[in-house]
Amino acid sequence: MKSKLALVAGVLAAGALLMKPPVATATIDMQKKTKAAGFEVQNCLYCHGEKLPKKGASTLNDRGKWLMAEKEKKGAKEVDVTWLKDYKEEKK
């Protein structure tokens, strides 16, 4: 009985992990696409708070937060860097 309960709990836990949405991560390819689209991206700081963000432990700056909000709003699977044409940087 205990082993069946442990098995069911394990299967449910594995299922929950599989249903969890993936962590959004930027890639070098995204950086290249951003440059190709005419944006002045130099490094990851263009959208992140760290020059070399670690997977799952990165922070986003205002531009990155905006891109993630657009992704959610559009129901997109991943960020499309061409959306940046609509981004309005806040005056500081």
What pLDDT, in 10s, does the model give residues 66-82? 999 999 999 999 999 99
What is the structure's pLDDT at 5?
60
DSSP string, the chain: -HHHHHHHHHHHHHHHHHHSPPPP---HHHHHHHHHTT----SGGGTBSSSSPPTTS--B-HHHHHHHHHHHHHT-SS--GGGGGG--PPP-
Q: Where exactly are the structural domains of the chain?
A: 23-86
pTM across the whole model: 0.67
